[in-house]
Structure 1
Amino acid sequence: MNNSSLQIPEHLLVSSTMVFFLIHSMQVGVGILGFEKYIASAAGYDSWISIILGGIGLHILLWMIYRILQTVDGDIVTVHTFVYGKYIGGGMNFLFSLYYLLLSVTVLRTFIEVIQTWIFPKLPLWLFTLVFVLLVYYYVAGGFRVITGASMAGVLLGLPLLLFKLFPIQYGNVDNVYPSIDHSIVELLASTKFSILSFLGIGLLFVYYPFIKNKQDSKKWAHFGVFYTVLIYLATAIVSFMYFSEKQLDQITWGTISLWKIINFSFVERFEFIGISLWVFVIIPNLCLGLWAASRIPKRMFNIKQRYVLWGYSVILYVTVFFLEDRRAIDRLNSFTGEVGFYFLMYIPVLFLFMLIMKKVRNRNET
């Protein structure tokens, strides 16, 4: 199935290797700063096993996404129109657009809370939010290639900060991470579900797939991106489990930042300030990709300029932040986004099945 409206000009396409950065940059953001507490609440120290289980599931889902997109040679709008028709498919597309916008809201508000908690407790919420939204708007308005460049920069700048987490190993207890397997498979699966918020990035492939130059070659890079993400989360969890007791993990909201506090250089007194400041470059691709995907879908549905939708969604992003004032509201937002994201991932196998059925039906009708 070809969609002429999806013939992206050559100069707007990105190379297949960039898919590695696009996948990974959306998966490693604000979630990795404090995910240890949530996965450990279900399976304790054994929850590092749940990260491996989640990684295996992600590779399977990624394979399904590629099969779905290759069948229609398009994006999520093409897929839903092919499977459900114009009207039901349009409703599903609108839900996907809102979901990507929800991801952006969650990332922005959670990261602002990090800054308020650790650096500027009296930070004017309206001012910082305005600066951040304007910055993200500038990136998204520049086009998908600009966002891809930001994603690459975020991955490269974020890696040294993650490597600094290895410092606490010298103070840790390796016995903590030996697989005792004293938790049931149900508890391990529950722990996997808690970590799902950090792994939602693969879904944006549904939107930017037409912008990939060599789609077949990009498969391996997408899987490399997922593998690298799982490796980073696994190493982060193991270091945290070696250093903190299970009771401490239950009390600590931002495990990664707490470990940054241990790092001590003669010329730097508070390394966590540097870490959080540099983490802005990791968060920006999260917001850009989410907002770009959210605004791209209405452009495809109604054939309007994406910039108009981007204006509206940027205003929504800015205003929504002010309805989330305290930690309890932000925690509820993260829980809600995690639930929605979990069902979004579970929808992928359903869509894969529907796609196979519709393909067989249409092939039978054509013959």
Structure 2
Amino acid sequence: MPDITSPAIRWHGNALSLLDQRLLPGQTHWITLHTAAEVAEAIRDMVVRGAPAIGIAAAYGVVLEARRLDAAASAATLADAFAVLAASRPTAVNLFWALRRMQENAATLQGQPLIAALEQCACDIHTADQAMNRRLADFGVPLLPEGGCIYTHCNTGALATGGHGTALGVIRSAWAAGRISGVYAGETRPWMQGSRLTSWELMQEQIPVTLVVDSAAGHLMQQGRVQAVIVGADRITANGDTANKIGTYSLAVLARHHGLPFIVAAPLSTIDPQLASGAAIEIEERPGNEVRGLQGNIIAPADVHVANPAFDVTPAALITAIVTERGVIHRPDADKMAAHLNEVSA
């Protein structure tokens, strides 16, 4: 099987290379991994991030473990690999979606046939993601106000996916179509994905971007400088509640107050119909040192108590539309979410 590459993920058949996103934009450094445990550590340590990209990396982690086991590879011998990858990050449902697909392929095979099936499945997940993102963007572009300036949070571009992006993919396509005038990118503390990654991605394509501190969003809306907000998602529940990077809920409240569209862009694999509402979503709590310091520089007292939730939940009532690769769910609720999923399965 030939090598498969995307901006942040490269599959070499016997190894997985990940662009170390912790070092961007200052350094471009690739890390090569050979085991499921190494892939899980890379996911946990934010070498790779973004829900779709995490799922792709985890799928390849299973293949690496199967290759290591060789003739002994089976559903039973891969159980530990599935467990360590599933434990790497708890909130992004794409991780578990990808692992379920891999488990389905491991159910009845073993040895070389199993390895071949797993590699094909992982490669399919990887290559299909970019095509899904472009379909999603086609549905999302008409939702953005013509000539408007768009606010986005965190990073949802090619670095966070198999290519093109989800929310940032919509923005990228909207700019190419001449529909929008520019983008505001919130810095996205504490990992600074907006400043380090989103602004960098947009500048590479000469899309006008203005970087702002997260707390400037309300001021920009009040001044009429933002016409819509679009974000990605790490998990969407059966009623349309959405978990995304911490700070998203605040943006939704601000958008509602200022009468602005608040749009969520995510693939179908991000929808978790098993969870009734956002109250059931496990929110990852990350180490306090991520807030006490910034890229190795101490910016707070070493012993100050820190709460560092990585995500928050935006109620469906605050969401104007959820856009997937199969269409748009306007004013999402449980009935509309179920109908959208039923259309997909029909």
TM range (shorter): under 0.3
TM-score, reference length from structure 1: 0.26
Structure (1 or 2) with the greater strand fraction: 2
Which structure is richer in relative contact order (CA contacts within 8 A, separation 6 or more)? 1
**TM-score, reference length from structure 2:** 0.27
Structure of greater Rg: 1
Name the structure with the higher helix share: 1
